[in-house]
Structure 1
Amino acid sequence: MTEAPVPAPVHDEAHGGGLGSRLSWLRAAVLGANDGVVSTAGLVVGVAGATGSRSALLTAGLAGLLAGSMSMAAGEYVSVSTQRDSEKAALATERRELREQPEAELTELTELLAARGLTPDVAREAAEQLTARDALRAHARVELGIDPDDLTNPWHAAVASFLAFTVGALLPLLAIVLPSPAHRLWITVLSVLAALTLTGWTSARLGAAPVPRALLRNVGGGALAMAVTYGAGSLLGAVGV
């Protein structure tokens, strides 16, 4: 019996997991940019409903951009730090179990490989080979779905979220302050809707979701947000608040 092909399922899983991780990060970046577009557009359009002052629009837009990007970065840092701590704790537990119960862990790895379609004999042989090569890595990938050499990095996540939100927020900010007062509102609305179409299409494709439904939700939600904030701003401006 040749055993050369046995480790292949684990290797393929790690490769697929890496691709999935990259796609998740890309999708998170697209969604972060989308948040920047919607939240900043709602803010500046609302202010535009109350006043035509370019300085007021710039101040509000910059404040919204900085507050939103810092909030996104802080939230992502906390979230990913918690995930990383959980991964480290799981690896520590697995390391202790391998030290204290090596036979039980070998049996567990065998059962996990058998559950993936290997015959009992092949699963046992594969588990023994993987354990001899690197027991912790084998259990981390097969049992926990974790790559010990590629744990999530909270700083990377925080910086990525900050940049994604900032890039998205710059579009409505520049669209509202650069054009003339007579055209700034429509230029902003059209620019935002175009950007939401792009981010909605991209996120749907990355998530293998129906594109028309994603576009409707994304563009419709952004349009509704701008309509509500503009109406509120106009009302407040009319009463002199």
Structure 2
Amino acid sequence: MFAWLQTKPKETHAMDSVGWLRAAVLGANDGILSLSGLLIGISSAEASRRSITLAGVSGLIAGAMSMAAGEYVSVSSQADLEMADLNLERQEVEQHWDEEVDELTHVYVTRGLEQGLARTVAIKLMEHDALEAHARDELGINMYSVAKPLQASVSSAAAFSAGAILPLITALLSPVEHVNIILTFSTLFFLAFLGLVGAHIGGANKMRAIFRVTVLGVLALAVTSLVGKFFEVQA
């Protein structure tokens, strides 16, 4: 009668992948747009093939290193804050058990539980693992997915490089006199595809995601092209 309960597949939610998806899409989008803007600005200034290649390779390396360093510092700061909060909460649990039970009870009451049931749940969870219960339900920290600076740094650099290599290859394979126009349209295609993939994985509206990234891409590329024209030199 209830056989379907035993075979029901595990539910999957878009939020399950939001962390890595956001980082991957942000890094790849930044790589595509940053390097494309750089190369279009350089080519708009009538630069030579050698100058375009040098700028592209340098931009990819510098961008990846910058993303890695920025992400490492950012996530390290987050990890430090989380650790400080956990240490404080550990002391509170050890020194003021009853008050901490009251705090957790209040959290569950505000979420809809009756006072008596909320207190029972708070006591049971604290007896099982007091620090984990307070970290999760009071501080909003998942003990099993705390910030990992090195992992975030490497992932961010890899995502940026994966995105940046696309416009770089496009520029290297394009006739130097047509780099600008080819790079512009290929970049919009790359951005649209990235928006499509991100929306598909995240369960978001695909057309809205494509429209968003391509419109912002057009604006960014237009600005860099104008800058290149303004400083036009023979390189």
TM score, norm. by length of structure 1: 0.83
Bigger CA drift: 207-216 or 147-156? 207-216
Distance in 1 separating the partners of 2:145 and 2:225: 45
Structure 2 counterpart of 1:51, one-letter code: E
**CA gap 1:181/1:24 in 2 versus in 1, 3 angstroms:** same
Per mean C-alpha deviation after superposition, the further-off stretch among 182-191 and 152-161 is 182-191
Which residue pairs with 2:105 in the alignment? 110
Other-structure match for 1:155: 150
Q: What pairs with 1:155-174 in structure 2 (closer than 5 Å)?
A: 155-174=150-169
Q: Which one-letter code corresponds to 1:174 in the other structure?
A: I
Separation in structure 2 between the aligned mates of residue 117 and residue 148 of structure 1, nearest angstrom: 24
TM-aligned CA deviation for residue 206 of structure 1: 6.4
| CA deviation after TM superposition for structure 1 residue 201, in Å | 3.8
Tell me the residue number matched to 2:56: 61
Out of 36, 41, 49, the position equivalent to 2:31 is 36
Q: Taking every aligned residue pair, what percent have the same amino acid on both sides?
A: 44
| One-letter code aligned to 1:78 | V
Aligned-residue Cα RMSD (Å) equals 2.5
Match of 2:89 among 89, 94, 119: 94
Q: 1:219 offset after TM fit, Å?
A: 1.3
Q: Return the offset for 1:54.
A: 1.7
Residue 86 and residue 19 in structure 1: after superposition, are their counterparts in 2 closer, same or farther (change >3 A)?
farther
**Alignment match, 2:66:** 71
- Whichever residue aligns with residue 171 of structure 2, its letter is I
Shift of 1:101: 0.5
Task: State whether residues 39 and 55 of structure 2, in contact with CA within 8 Å, keep that contact through their aligned partners in structure 1.
Answer: yes
Q: In the alignment, is the contact (CA less than 8 A) between 1:98 and 1:105 conserved in 2?
A: yes
Shift of 1:121: 1.8
The superposition leaves residues 54-102 of structure 1 with CA deviations (integer Å, 9 ceiling, x where unpaired) of 2111100111111111111111111111110010011011100011100
CA contact (8 A) 1:80 1:154 kept: yes
Match of 1:196?
191
